[in-house]
Each structure stands twice: as structure tokens, then as C-alpha cells.
Chains A and B, each alone.
Chain A
Amino acid sequence: MNNLANLNKASLQALTQSIRLGILGEFSLQDSKYMIVCFGKNSGDYGDQDLIPSEEADYYSIVGRIEVDEQFCLIVKAKHTFKTLEPTITDLLTARELQIAAFIALGYSNKQIANRLQISEWTVSTHLRRTFIKLGVDSRAAMVYRCAPLINLLLQTKAEL
């Protein structure tokens, strides 16, 4: 979520750089980023079409207009371009990665997993490394901890690994 919020914030700042407007302030509301941009004393100088370049229109929208100290300002909202929900373990890992995580939870070594899946030990370790990257962990124990609820569910339902 933080990365996405930062992305929205960064996108808004980038927009203001591109159209060379002053930023009066910014705020968040319901997971969206907003920015108040000031464009001068004459509202007739700028129409919506001119203010938001066409190539940016998919990402920003003008949601309000205000006047501050005789300056005409717009409230610009960064549209969501990416999903904002935290992914679950099943979103994070592929079936093969979950399968290997479950084997590790059961105490299998890489060699045993390799034999079971008829792949090389190195291939097992490449799956593990990718899993570590996705989960942001650096040990097998931490990986099992992160996957525990799902692995338990798999084991309880006696799913075939």
C-alpha cells in the first residue's frame, strides 16, 4: 500500500513539474492522493483540456476548483492505476512455490523435494530464492511462518502435494 501511495504522490508531483504549476498543498482521502495546484489570477487562461495534457488524462482528474488569495486553484486527484489491496499468500506465490513451501514446512530437504518433484536441487533453490524475494524474507523458517495459515489449510484438507 505504501508503495502505491508513494507512486500516486510521485505521479502528482511529476504532473506539476510537467505543467509548471505551483503546489499549494496535498492530502490523502480514502486511499487517494489529491493536490491543490495554483495556476494564476485569471481563470480564463486555463481550460481543463490545456491544464492536463492529453497523455496524462488517464491518470489525473480535476475534481474541484477553489480560490485562495485571489489565485485560482484546482484540486487534482491521481487516479488509481494499480490495485491497492494487500496481496494474500496465494496471490504472491505460484502453485509450484506453494508446493515447495509446504514440503519445507513438512521438514523436507531441498534434495528430497527435488526427488519428489523430479527436478534438480538447483531448481528447487531458484524457486525458494524467488519465494524469499516475493515474501521479503531471508530464511526458510520465516517463509514457513508467512505461509503457515495456507500450509495448515492444505495439510488439514489432505491436499495432494
Chain B
Amino acid sequence: MELWIVRELWYILDNINLYLQRPELVVPRVNTSSTTLFEKRAFLEQTLWSLKEWEKLRREKDLNSLNLYWLGDNLRDSLIPKEREPEIFSHWESLARSLDRKINQIPSTNDVLSLAFRDTVALAASLGSAFILTYQLREDYERNIPPDICKALANWDIPCQNLTEKDPIVALERQYLREVFVSAGLAKLFWADIHIVVLHLVVPSASPQTKLQKHRVIPKISDPDIQNLEPLDYLWTNIQGFWYQI
């Protein structure tokens, strides 16, 4: 299984002291009034601890040996699996750029986390069969509030549906992923009451094997508004998200 991270995380880690001083840039919910003070502080601490752990990992480990991949500022700054075509980079960038246009039409958010969400969604779409691993805060879980990335998707008019383990496919995949976590020595995460969430994106014709030109072949559509959409914009108006808890 390939593990991919988005370049925005590296940018955050390049500047970690800033984010430790101004955590609201990566934890925008600190600025919302709907969260209690204790929740805000707990979330801040969790996020800052995670950033420090990532920084430690990057500093102390040989990243090439971790089955960890990313797309940087250009192909040269990226690390992609040997089996992947280099076109993955331009494909991802096209998707991220088109999603960016869509996001820019919505009242802007002034936090770096939204940029990371944009890159993550575009990366998952460009990788084809990939899914996004995220998590739900305990307080959100108890109140049935979706993970932050799903809230961002909803703000971008991308529907995100919650699935339960009653869904047989969810049950099957959940079992498989739990086994992967256990075999990776991460069973403790489940005991620690950490609500890990899987987010799948169903994207029309977004597989990396598909040439970008192919996006120009759009099924016959009668709605003139949709006909006028740019090919990749069409993609983002037809994407769907599905999430469940492992």
C-alpha cells in the first residue's frame, strides 16, 4: 500500500515554529465560537503534537525507506513510486488548479489547512483508487459532526455522505483496514479512542491512466450550464465523497 502525503504538509513543517506560535493558521476551528475552550485547547495540543512528531520523523528517518510518497513544487522535488508514470505530477496539478478555481468562487478561508485539503482531495482524485485517511475529534464523533475535511468538501459543494458498518462494503473494507493497522502495530490507536476515518472520493474519469485530453470527451449533456463547464470543472461538479469510521 502506498502512503502519500501532500506538499502542504512539508511547507508547514518547513515553517513549524510559525505554526507553533500561530496555531490558528492550521487549526482554524480555534477561531470558531461553537467550540468550548477546553475543546479548542485539546485540539490545538493534538495538532501541535502531531506537527512535532512529523518534524521529528522527517528529521530523523530516511524517508525513502518509508514507502512514503509526495508531489513537491515540481517533479524533481517529488518522490513517486517507480511503478507510477511521471505524468501523475501534471495530472495532480491540473486537478488541484481546477479545484482551486472552484474554491476561489466561494468566500475565501484564511487558513493553510484549506490549502492542504485542496491538495489532498486533488491527490486522491489523481491517484485513482486512493482513499484519504483522516480522523474525527472525539467531541465531533459524539455529536455526529463530520471530519474537518468533509466539512471543507461540503463548503465546496462536494457532497460527502457518512456510511456505517451496516453497509456490507464498508464492513468488508473496514475489516481489511483494521487488519492492516494491527499488522502495522497500530492496534493501540483503536484502544486510545482515536476515531480514524476513511474518506473515498468517487471521481468521474480521474484515473491517472486517463490522458487529460480525454476529459474533453464529456457525455452528452442537455443542461447548458453544465455544457459550458471546463472539463475539469465538470469533474468537480460530479464528484462525491463517502466516509466511514474504521
Contact = CB atoms under 8 A, between A and B. Distances in A.
Interface in B30-86: 36-38, 40-41, 73-74, 76
Interface in B133-160: none
Contacts of B100: 122, 126
A43 interface: no
A92 B37 contact: no
A7 B38 CA distance: 11
Contacts of A119: 73-74
A129 interface: yes
Given A87-B18, A92-B15, A122-B97, A17 B37 contact: yes
Nearest to B17: A91
A108 to B, nearest CB: 16
A111 interface: no
A54 interface: no
Interface in A22-68: none
B170 interface: no
Contacts of A123: 73-74, 93
Contacts of B18: 87, 91-92, 134
Query: Looking at chain A's contact residues, is the secondary structure mostly helix, strand, loop, or mixed?
Result: helix
B111 A133 contact: yes
Query: What interface size band does chain A fall in?
Result: 20 to 34
Contacts, number: 69
Nearest to B96: A122
Contacts of A14: 36-38, 41
B22 interface: yes
B233 interface: no
Contacts of B74: 118-120, 123
A82 B20 contact: yes
13 contacts: A3-B22, A4-B21, A10-B41, A11-B41, A13-B37, A17-B37, A17-B38, A83-B17, A87-B22, A119-B73, A119-B74, A133-B112, A134-B15
